[in-house]
Amino acid sequence: MSSFHLPPTVSPLSVSESFTRTWSGIINSYSPAAIEFVGTFIIQLIFFWGPSAVYLSLEALFPKFSERHKIQPVPKQPTRAEVIHCLGLVVKNQILSTALHAAMIYVSTITGKSSFRIDASIPPVHEVVRDFIFSLAVREILFYYSHRILHHPRLYPKIHKVHHKFTAPVALAAQYAHPIEQIIANILPITIPPQLLHSHILTFWLFMAYELVETTTVHSGYDFFHNAAKKHDLHHEKFLIYFGALGVLDWLHGTDGSKMAAKRKAKTDAVSKEGKTE
Ligand SMILES: [Zn+2]
Ligand SMILES: [Zn+2]
């Protein structure tokens, strides 16, 4: 009888053991404040700039492939100069985010109250799933309503108009925003939910990584992942539809694009019917 054994170096157990060992080594070597600050910065670096670089380079390296998968036509795409200008504001916004995070960590070291659980334990799967789903739901609520408020006629020209400069967005444009919007619609909806649960820092990083990949993808302008970018792309193109990310609140408030199109069609049909009967 023969049996197949994975080499010990790649068995799932040894991967999890070595991860646990590495993590407890980090915990023993650095302060919670340093771990939170540097770790969050690295997550931002990998999961925002990584996908942004991939999406942006597609156009330069594979122009035909890129054109085939772009949701909006080439003439609508931003120019190279606009993308470079976008890069400048995104860097400024990330400096702002990093500075605010440093200030927040400084306050929490003074008060002795950390926003996240930072210890040698690895959070159990059920806890990660629970915190992730909760964070996803609360992020949707915070993002949807802050985004709708930013579309208020008094606030839109001063703040949110900046983000809407890109009617055909690119991945980097995810954080092309007024600093106030960067704080209330981009940073807080992602950082508040895991803090409400005092989640493990590893869970927060996982959630943050997911959200950064999601936001760069929905701004990428590409039809990848079953057209995941379509709704937010339409929001950039047509303004008053699809304010949320998951779609539940858009459905609830009637800002769902297909619902609005159906309403418009019903109105047009009623008008043309009236015209015929007159
Ligand atoms: Zn956007
Ligand atoms: Zn908007």
Same domain, 258 and 139: no
Model confidence over 74-100: pLDDT tens digits? 889 999 999 999 999 999 999 999 999
Question: How many separate domains does the chain show?
Answer: 2
Domain co-membership, 156 together with 275:
no
Distance 232 CA to ligand 1 centre (A): 6
CA of 220 to the centre of ligand 1 (A): 10
Residue 246, helix vs strand vs coil: coil
123 CA distance to ligand 1 centroid (A)? 32
Which residues are within 8 A (CB) of 144 and not within 5 positions of it... i.e. 6 or more apart?
243, 244, 245, 249, 250
186 and 264 fall within a common domain: no
Residue 39 has which token pair?
A: 């770790």
Considering the domain architecture, whether residues 232 and 253 belong to the same structural domain is answered as no
Distance between CA 18 and CA 201 in Å, rounded? 18
Residues in the chain: 278
> How many Å from the N-terminal Cα to the C-terminal Cα in the chain?
87
Q: Is 66 helix (H, G, I), strand (E, B) or coil?
A: helix
**Closest ligand to 148 CA?**
2
Q: Are residues 184 and 194 in the same domain?
A: yes
Q: Find the 244 Cα to ligand 2 centroid distance in Å.
A: 9
Alpha carbon of 91 to ligand 2 centroid (Å): 21
Ligand nearest to the CA of 161: 2
Are residues 238 and 256 located together in one domain of the fold? no
114 CA to middle of ligand 1, Å? 31
CA angle 51, 49, 122 (to 5 degrees): 85
Give distance in angstroms: CA of 19 to centre of ligand 2. Answer: 40
Among candidate residues 120, 114, 99, 87, the one with its CA nearest the CA of residue 33: 114
**Do 255 and 217 sit in the same domain of this protein?**
no
**pLDDT for the residue 193:** 98
**248 CA to middle of ligand 2, Å?**
17
> 236 CA to middle of ligand 1, Å?
6
**pTM for this model (two decimals):** 0.88
> Mean pLDDT, the chain, as a whole number?
91
102 in any annotated domain? yes
From the CA of 217, the nearest ligand is 1
Identify whether 1 is part of a domain: no
Cα separation of 62 and 69, whole Å? 11
- Residue 140 placed within a domain: yes
* Gap from CA of 148 to ligand 2 centroid (Å): 7
Question: 223 is in which domain, residue-wise?
Answer: 12-245
The pLDDT score that the predictor gives to residue 243 is: 95
Q: 90 C-alpha to center of ligand 1: Å? A: 13
pLDDT in tens, 108-130: 999 888 899 999 999 999 999 99
Within this chain, do residues 241 and 255 fall inside the same structural domain, yes or no? no
Cα of 170 vs centre of ligand 1, distance in Å, is 9
For residues 19 and 143, membership in a common domain is answered with: yes
Handedness of CA 128, 133, 138, 143 (dihedral sign): positive
Evaluate if residue 234 carries a pLDDT over 50. yes
Q: How far is the CA of 9 from the centre of ligand 1 (A)?
A: 43
Same-domain pairing of 142 and 182? yes
